[in-house]
Amino acid sequence: MHFQVSRLTYSDSYFIEQLVEDFLSEEEKPTVDHLKSVLSDDRTYLYIAAVNEKVIGYCLVYRFPSIYSSHHLAYLYDIEVIEEHQKKGIGREFIRVAKEQLAKDNVSELWPGTATDNESGQTLFSRTGAVKSDETFNDYTYEL
């Protein structure tokens, strides 16, 4: 299987429509226009993996300034790959491409958090060079 990873821009309507329809179907499904607006912010890195123009996965990363140095930091928020295409190198390629672009964009650290029971995510991060923190975090949410 040959797949291609690319970073979406606000003008990639064909792929944005697929992403919204096939992957972002939760309760508050975003509109295509909303996603285009998000992608107009260069701090949003939304990558897709595609086979024959069909989206089979995505990776979302946010870049933000650091108050501790003159570099930026980035948070890898999500990687999703449809089940039939998992364990075929797509996650590794998402991370490779993201790290390469982030380094060019003055990012000194990429932080990929994951659930403590997400063994495949932890394995992916370890195999791609991430160093596991000795700390345990709990996530909280404020509904605004």
Strand partners, 111: 75
24 part of a folded domain: yes
Per-residue pLDDT, averaged over 62-75, amounts to 96
- For strands 44-51 and 54-65, give the pairing: antiparallel
Rg (CA), the chain: 15
143 part of a folded domain: no
136 part of a folded domain: no
132 part of a folded domain: no
Total domain count, the chain: 1
Q: At 81, which CATH number? A: 3.40.630.30
pLDDT at 135 exceeding the cut of 90: no
Distance between CA atoms of residues 93 and 47, nearest Å: 10
- 103 pLDDT band (50/70/90 cuts)? very high
64 part of a folded domain: yes
pTM of the model as a whole: 0.92
Q: Scanning the structure block, which residue is given the tokens 């509904």?
A: 143
Mean pLDDT of all residues belonging to the chain: 93
Distance between CA atoms of residues 121 and 95, nearest Å: 12
Give the rounded percent of residues in the chain with a pLDDT score beyond 90.
78
57 part of a folded domain: yes
What angle (nearest 5°) sits at the alpha carbon of residue 142, between those of residues 115 and 111?
40
138 part of a folded domain: no
Distance between CA atoms of residues 42 and 22, nearest Å: 24
135 part of a folded domain: no
Distance between CA atoms of residues 47 and 15, nearest Å: 10
pLDDT at 23 exceeding the cut of 90: no
What single letter denotes the amino acid at residue 123? T
Q: State the residue range of the domain holding 69.
A: 4-127
